[in-house]
Chain A
């Protein structure tokens, strides 16, 4: 299902959080929303899910505006996972995943056998069946994220919106979760939109990126275009080096502004500020010069 949003504007009182944002994701596509803290990523994602009131703009899902539909119908089209999903203490994993069927079960009825079957399949697919009886609070970060994804796919919505799906995960689990989302996208033709902080990782999974700053789109396009040193420097206020991973992808490396570590007892002037540590060039081929210029023994930093 293709997602097409035009002129999305969200205001909280007098404050404009999202300002006239256009974006489009083809069916089966993956769009990454980037931006510094407070850029409006989460609010935009919620606006796409119809969870916050839009002051202006339209969302089109294969010709349907979700705002014209009742909540149950919207949930048939769009599944949304919050940045920090609430895992109610005392609820078992099985009961939690079952919540994904909410929109498919008549309001005052209980789940039918086919709902339980869909839940069982989703749990098997995400390898969480063995946790079924466990309290959701006992799960590790990676396990919890798989359980939340299992809940999301039992909703059987063609559009999957994920707010920071990897923010609490270590490197390995980040990869596992994103690869899993990508597999589900390919298997089920899901249209995926994620907000992400890790620029390198999002560039590896999303076909297109939208960079937000101050609620507006400031860059839009494939990762090779958006993940640009000057663009990132301008909008994140960060000093970065962007490397080519050799496969057309981009590796974004943050750089220290101080060339040298100032150790305890050392003269502060020893840590010279480098005006532009990434001045060596926009894109450096893999295996090129070391990325950082500071002391190799940085691991000993107090």
Chain B
């Protein structure tokens, strides 16, 4: 025992234990995102010169002269940039929300659609398209999808609580029930209005093709609040990792924290799903790939999921619109098709434990 008691006064110096997001990983993730953005705005049916694109983007700096022609500049700012910005926003939100859900539910398979966001948004979109109810013009589809998602998750939460159970398993089961129920209604309407099925599928498989700045403006406030809130909670998710009993003993109001984080993640997810449709896989693959590299602390997992989720979806969108050019693949197909093998590769190369 003596050996253990001398440490304080002995040779071992007090080493500050700084739980930090290592700067090199952050720098790398920022670099990957910037590279993805530059590639995405340059590549397309009309190729833009990289040097010209960089000069155009940095023209606010003194001494940088824009060199793109007017037509090229229009393509960049009106077509490419909103699409890339929306892809980045959607990817960042889905990946961060996925990581947050996994932390809150302590379940590696939790994804942002767990509590019914997908089926709620899907039903909202289907009703809008099938019934042709568009009181707000082009904004109707995202609006109804958003409302559907929020209503679905609220129903899940209410049902989960009404059983008297406080555990997360009850909530997840309620999510399954609500999802199945709403999907059944959605299928019914898709059958009834078969002529609109193609447009409905377009939404269900995810789409950035129609993206303009208006979609970015619709989603950004909600997604922005959600992202800031989730990032601010990253330390608390680490505390939840030790389980409810000990987290409570450590002084964490676990139920309130769980409710707040789920609400934020759901809000962000609903907002981006409303403008991009259901893009699967991002919320699971990106956080897990990040964990395999930097460990499981949410202090690192959340910010890196945000950056790399954005990069992942921007790159997936490049593939979606170039692989079968001039036709476009649904981006949800690309994320699954590319994300699956990529994830297996990362899994094989890593010896770390997943979650």
Contacts and interface: CB of A to CB of B under 8 A. Distances in A.
**Binding site of A, secondary structure by majority: helix, strand, loop or mixed?**
helix
A105 B235 contact: yes
B69 interface: no
B18 interface: yes
A83 to B, nearest CB: 10
A182 to B, nearest CB: 10
Contacts of A75: 249-251
B353 interface: yes
A129 B238 contact: no
B251 A90 contact: no
A221 interface: no
Nearest to B16: A116
Interface string B297-328: 10100000000000000000000000000000
A61 to B, nearest CB: 15
Interface stretch (A96-104, A194-202, A270-278, A287-295): A96-104
A120 B7 contact: no
Interface size class of B (residues with CB under 8 A): 35 or more
Interface stretch (A33-41, A66-74, A229-237): A66-74
A97 B15 CA distance: 13
A225 interface: no
A285 to B, nearest CB: 28
B336 interface: no
B337 to A, nearest CB: 28
Interface string B182-222: 00000000000000000000000000000000000000000
A86 B291 contact: no
Contacts of B239: 99, 102
A126 to B, nearest CB: 7
B246 A91 contact: no
Interface in B237-291: 238-239, 241-243, 245-253, 291
Contact of A88 (B17, B241, B253): B241
A114 to B, nearest CB: 11
B295 interface: yes
A95 B238 CA distance: 9
B251 A74 contact: yes
Contacts of B241: 86, 88, 91
Nearest to B253: A71
**Binding site of B, secondary structure by majority: helix, strand, loop or mixed?**
loop
Interface string B15-40: 11111000000000000000000000
A73 B246 CA distance: 15
B296 A91 contact: yes
B12 interface: yes
Given A121-B14, A129-B12, A70 B250 contact: no
Q: With a 10 A CB-CB cut-off, give which of B8, B14, B239 has the most chain A CB atoms.
A: B14
Nearest to B247: A102
A45 to B, nearest CB: 11
A32 interface: no
A17 B177 CA distance: 34
B4 A98 contact: no
A156 B249 CA distance: 13
Given A70-B253, A91-B295, A119-B17, A51 B235 contact: no
A230 B13 CA distance: 52
B5 A103 contact: no
A268 interface: no
Given A91-B241, A125-B8, A71 B14 contact: no
Contacts of B247: 102
Interface residues of A, number: 59
B236 interface: yes
Interface string B36-71: 000000000000000000000000000000000000
B238 A99 contact: yes
B7 A129 contact: yes
A282 interface: no
Contact of B245 (A46, A87, A127, A183): A46
A62 interface: no
A71 B19 contact: no
A179 B7 contact: no
Given A70-B253, A110-B235, A124-B8, A94 B19 contact: yes
A82 B246 contact: yes
Given A89-B296, A89-B353, A92-B297, A99 B12 contact: no
A51 B253 contact: no
B246 A80 contact: yes
Given A79-B249, A90-B295, A183 B5 contact: yes
B355 interface: yes
A102 B237 CA distance: 11
Contact of B355 (A49, A89, A155, A175): A89
B17 A120 contact: yes
Interface of A: 46, 49, 51, 70-76, 78-82, 85-92, 94-95, 97-100, 102-103, 105, 107-108, 110-111, 113, 116-117, 119-121, 123-127, 129-130, 132, 135, 137, 146, 155, 175-176, 179-180, 183
**CB-based closest 4 A-B pairs:** A103-B251, A75-B251, A90-B296, A94-B17
24 contacts: A51-B249, A71-B251, A72-B251, A75-B251, A78-B249, A88-B241, A89-B353, A89-B355, A90-B291, A90-B296, A92-B19, A95-B238, A102-B247, A102-B251, A110-B235, A120-B14, A120-B16, A124-B8, A127-B4, A127-B12, A146-B4, A176-B1, A176-B4, A183-B1
Interface of B: 1, 3-5, 7-8, 12-19, 232-233, 235-236, 238-239, 241-243, 245-253, 291, 295-297, 299, 352-353, 355
Given A95-B17, A100-B250, A121-B14, 16 more contacts: A51-B245, A51-B249, A73-B251, A74-B251, A80-B249, A82-B243, A86-B243, A88-B238, A88-B241, A88-B242, A91-B296, A92-B297, A95-B299, A116-B18, A117-B14, A183-B5
